[in-house]
Homo-oligomer: A and B are copies of this chain.
Amino acid sequence: MTHSEENYIKAIFHLGFEGLEVISTNALAERMETKPSSVTDMLKRLSEKGLVHYKKYQGASLTDLGIKTALSIVRKHRLWEVFLVEKLDFNWDEVHEIAEQLEHIKSEKLIDKLDELLNYPKLDPHGDPIPDKNGELMEAHKQLLSQMPINTSGICVGVKDSSAAFLRFLDKNNIALGNKIKIVEKEEFDNSVRVLIDHRQLHLSQQIAANLYIKKINM
């Protein structure tokens, strides 16, 4: 498998997780930042290799082999992310790009040893689950702040809206990724929430709460 093929498989996998049953040529082209015609070419190739189901004009989905392949790539990506953060002191938001490269390194033994070194982590630094050696994937353990029940705690691990405006807002209010956060109260009227961050009480609008990802603690 080439790097490019692996990247397409991964993109189809992720689009699948985002709700799409069958992935359209255009959706995939947008995700891959390429042209639809290139996607068509690649889908034919992947179909011939038995990695995707593909019928002209009907979109694509992964075969069992494709899913297995995708899980293996995702496993590598997320384990490397843990390594970069835990062992090399990278910040959570710097690791994705490097892991995009490392995920293509071919050596089963390397990944198993890395898994061992990191003590078989279940979640990556963004709170996403890491498939185990057999491709078993636990359910997601991150959720939007707006979806958390009252009196639960977690750690800020990501943003949905990554606009400069939103990031500036977080900065201004001293909300950093990695902060522990506890949800204290929800306002029925406007869905705003009161939270506790570093012993500070904050009142956040629904718009804010719906764009901040929280990793549940103790899972």
Chain A residues close to B by CB (< 8 Å): 84, 87-90, 94, 97-98, 101-102, 105-107, 109-110, 113-114, 117
Contact = CB atoms under 8 A, between A and B. Distances in A.
Total copies of this chain within the assembly: 2
Contacts of A94: 109
Nearest to A102: B105
Q: Which 10 A-B pairs have the closest CB atoms?
A: A88-B113, A101-B105, A98-B107, A98-B110, A88-B117, A87-B117, A102-B105, A101-B106, A89-B113, A88-B114
Nearest to A94: B109
A60 to B, nearest CB: 28
A135 B101 CA distance: 24
A87 B88 CA distance: 12
A190 to B, nearest CB: 43
B113 A90 contact: yes
Nearest to A90: B113
Nearest to A114: B88
Contacts of A102: 102, 105
